[in-house]
Structure 1
């Protein structure tokens, strides 16, 4: 075989193979087209599947929302039932309240009218009805815990105490037993010396009130006031120095800090006894007793009066 033959055969073979080589791009194109179609179909299927899943999810969501809404509605229904019961209870309570209001109104209607304090006070202050005044003077006082009633009663006692038409025995009773300054002040100005004397002896007197009674015009009132433990030492000293003081009162004052009130202030009580020793109305018996007093000043004053 010659070289040309070999070359021709080779060339022919190349020609035969050439068309096959030229067809490869077309086949590749067809393959790509098929792949693209498959991809599109796959995407469509995936999209359809996603859409179906989305619809299913929406359905599930709506169903869940409906379930929640139904639960809330049921809960509201459950809550509404106690409210209905409460409304019934309130209605019953309101009915009871209305009934109670009716009872209160009836009780208020049945409550007796109470006269204003100022009206009652003025009426008693100017009353000439001895029986009414006696009844008020002897009426038991309310308990102190009932403050309004207690204050009213003590205020009315002041009006009764200051009324001269109140029987004297009732005024003496009030002067002897009442601890209230407003009542005792009224009675300390009473025209009856017996009433004033009862005030002077009252151990609930304020010291300024009993001190004022030590200057009373009636000796019995002064004497009683000086004997009252509420009397200040100043008032007692002035009483011991009074040249018009009676012997009985001087005798009482001469024993203060010794036989009477032994725990009294030593200096003040000895000053009172010394003043008694110097008083011109002191009796011989008083002077002799004071001449043996425990205080040197009292002894010296008494002995000088005795001329010793």
Structure 2
């Protein structure tokens, strides 16, 4: 290599290094700390920006820093009422992250809470909370979610606010649906359905042939009460 070639090569390397350094400096200048971006998105009124964040593909989980940042920002987007309704419903249906779902579970729109209630990635305590929602459709969606605890299912079966449709569903647990469910717990739910004033005659008739003696006795008791 000649002295001229050596000099050119060295200058090229130095130039590349300078460009890379300048790009890194520019990137660092543009990078917002997480807390700054979070607060900006939490209070943003820019529906387009919020929608883009809601639909943005998540980084690979192997990049833990980027992944954690993205999920934290989704919490801000999900909790912002200025995020378009269809995007909040999308997040409520698809997100597996408790921090995002907790925000969406408090959404003023029932359709968003209903989507959270039906999300099978919910923690049981969160879906259990939604079984107490003031809107019947949200409560029903939560009670149909397999993540709901048996305690919540039993309370739903006992509740005077439960309608005939959700009682029809609860009456099948441990028999037609989830046949491997704990026998004692599932029969307690079906017994409570039989005793609920809102149970339909069709469901009551079906429970007459229930495999649990306790449930059959409850059906008899309910029929006697109706005949009075």
TM above 0.5: yes
Deviations along 1:25-67, one digit per CA (max 9) or x if unpaired, are: xxxxxxxxxxxxxxxxxxxxxxxxxxxxxxxxxxxxxxxxxxx
- Taking structure 2 as the reference length, the TM-score comes to 0.89
What does residue 32 of structure 2 align with? 115
**Cα deviation, residue 106, structure 1:** 2.5
What does residue 113 of structure 2 align with? 196
- Following the alignment from structure 1 to structure 2, what is the Cα–Cα distance between the partners of residues 268 and 105? 69
Q: Partner of 2:179: helix, strand, or coil?
A: coil
- Following the alignment from structure 1 to structure 2, what is the Cα–Cα distance between the partners of residues 141 and 160? 14
More helix by share: 1
What does residue 231 of structure 1 align with? 148
- Following the alignment from structure 1 to structure 2, what is the Cα–Cα distance between the partners of residues 100 and 118? 38
**Cα deviation, residue 286, structure 1:** 1.0
Is 1:164 aligned with 2:116? no
- CA RMSD in angstroms comes to 1.8
**Cα deviation, residue 232, structure 1:** 0.4
Q: Which has the larger radius of gyration?
A: 1
Is 1:298 aligned with 2:226? no
- Taking structure 1 as the reference length, the TM-score comes to 0.67
What does residue 89 of structure 1 align with? none
**Cα deviation, residue 99, structure 1:** 7.9
Deviations along 1:197-218, one digit per CA (max 9) or x if unpaired, are: 0000000000000000000000
Is 1:135 aligned with 2:52? yes
- Tell me: higher relative CO, structure 1 or 2? Use CA pairs within 8 A at least 6 residues apart: 2
Q: Which aligned segments of 4 or more residues in structure 1 are displaced greater than 3 angstroms?
A: 98-105
**Cα deviation, residue 304, structure 1:** 1.9
Count residues in correspondence: 214
